[in-house]
Amino acid sequence: MSGATAEIERVFREEYGRLIASLVRRFGDIDIAEEAAGEALVAALEKWPRQFPGSGVPPNPGAWLTTTAGNRAIDRLRREKQRDTKHRQAAAMYDDTPHESLGMFEEHEDDRLRLMFTCCHPALAPEARIALTLRLLGGLTVEEIAQAFLVPETTMGQRITRAKKKIAAARIPYRVPEAEDLPARVATVLAVLFLVFNEGYLSSGDGSPIRGELTAEAIRLARILHGLMPDEPEVTGLLALLLLTEARRDARVRGGELVRLDDQDRGGWDRSLIAEGHALVRECLTLNRPGRYQILAAINAVHTDAPTAADTDWSQVVALYDQLARIDPSPIVALNRAVAIAELDGPEVALAQVDRLAAAAPVLAVLSGYHAFHATRADLLRRLGRSADAREAYDAALAVCDNTAERAYLSRRRGELV
206 vs 363: CA distance, rounded Å: 28
Domain boundary residue, one of 93, 117, 133: 93
Domain assignment present for 388: yes
75 vs 36: CA distance, rounded Å: 10
Of residues 330 and 84, more confidence is placed in 330
pLDDT at 205: 58
Domain assignment present for 227: no
DSSP 168-198: HHHT--BSPPPGGGHHHHHHHHHHHHHHHHH
DSSP state of 108: G
Domain boundary residue, one of 93, 121, 143: 93
Domain assignment present for 385: yes
Domain assignment present for 353: yes
22-31, 90-99, 180-189, 211-220 — which is least confidently predicted? 90-99
Of residues 178 and 299, more confidence is placed in 299
Q: Is pLDDT of 83 > 60?
A: no
Domain boundary residue, one of 67, 93, 119: 93
Q: Is pLDDT of 172 > 70?
A: yes
**Structural domain that includes position 25:** 1-93
Q: Is pLDDT of 102 > 50?
A: no
Q: What is the mean pLDDT of residues 263-274?
A: 96
Domain assignment present for 243: no
Write down the pTM of the prediction.
0.75
Q: What value does the mean pLDDT of the chain take?
A: 85
**How sure is the predictor about 108, in pLDDT bands with cuts at 50, 70 and 90?**
very low
What percent of the chain stands above pLDDT 70? 90
| Cβ 227 vs Cβ 279: under 8 Å | no
pLDDT at 99: 45
Closest CA to 120 of 48, 221, 34, 215: 221
CATH number for 397: 1.25.40.10
**Distances in whole angstroms, Cα of residue 53 to Cα of each of 44, 58, 141:** 13, 10, 29
Q: Is pLDDT of 373 > 70?
A: yes
Domain assignment present for 5: yes
Domain assignment present for 230: no
Total domains present in the chain: 2
Which residue type occupies 14?
A: E
Cβ atoms within 10 Å, residue 122: 13
Domain assignment present for 261: no
